[in-house]
Amino acid sequence: MKKGFCCGTFDPITVGHVDIIERAARLCDKLVIGVVVNYAKNSYFTLEQRTEMVKAAVSHIKNVEVVSFSDHLPTYVMKEGFDVIIRGLRNESDFDYEIGLAQLYDHFFKGSCETVYIMTKPEYSYISSTIVRQNFELDADVSGWVTPSVYKLMKEFKNK
C-alpha cells in the first residue's frame, strides 16, 4: 500500500492545490494532506480555519485524510511511515525552492521516502494563496480561484 503525504500552509487552499491533490490521490492508496504551521509566514487564516477549508475542498476524494500539525516535517513523515511526499510545482521559482527541500528531506529519509513533484496545469499556474489572499482582502472576486465551499468559508471567517 502506497501511503502519500502532501502538505502546505493552504492559506487558503486554491483550485490549483485541489487539482494537485486529486492527481496525487490517484497515485496513492491513501493520501494524507497536512495543513502545517509555517513559522516563516504570518498566516491570514488560523490553522483551524485552514484545516476546515482543506477538508471542505477535498471532501469528494475518498482516499484522502486531512490532518494539521506543527511538528518537524521529516520526523513526522518518518513516524507516520509515508512512502512518498507529493509536492506541486507552478514555475521555476517553485522548483528552485523545492529542490533544496527535497535534498534536505533526503538527508533525513535515507531512502525510506521519496519526494515526487506534480506540475500544475497551465490554467492554474498564476494562482497562489498569496494572490488569492491579497485580492480577497481588497474585496475582489476570487471565487474562480478557490472552490465554492472554500469561498463561502473565507467570507464567513472574514466577517467574524
Residue-range domain boundaries for the chain:
3-158
* Helix, strand, coil distribution of the chain in percent, nearest 5: 45, 20, 35
The cell numbers describing 38, all together, are 509555517
pLDDT confidence of residue 8: 94
Residue 20 confidence class, pLDDT cut points 50, 70, 90: very high
Instruction: Tell me the CATH number for domain 3-158.
Output: 3.40.50.620
Positions marked active-site: 17, 41, 90, 129
Q: What percent of the chain has pLDDT over 90?
A: 78
Omega cis (within 30) before 12: yes
H helix runs in 4-91, sequence order: 15-25, 47-58, 73-80
Q: Are strands 84-89 and 64-69 parallel, antiparallel or unpaired?
A: unpaired
Question: 3-class DSSP state for residue 128?
Answer: coil
Rounded to two decimals, the pTM is 0.93
Cα separation of 13 and 133, whole Å? 10
Half-sphere exposure of 80 (CA within 13 A, CB side): 23
- What count of other Cβ atoms lies within 10 Å of the Cβ of residue 129? 23
- Cell 518518518, residue? 78
- What count of other Cβ atoms lies within 10 Å of the Cβ of residue 27? 13
pLDDT tens-place string over residues 35-91: 999 888 889 999 999 999 999 999 999 999 999 988 889 999 999 999 999 999 988
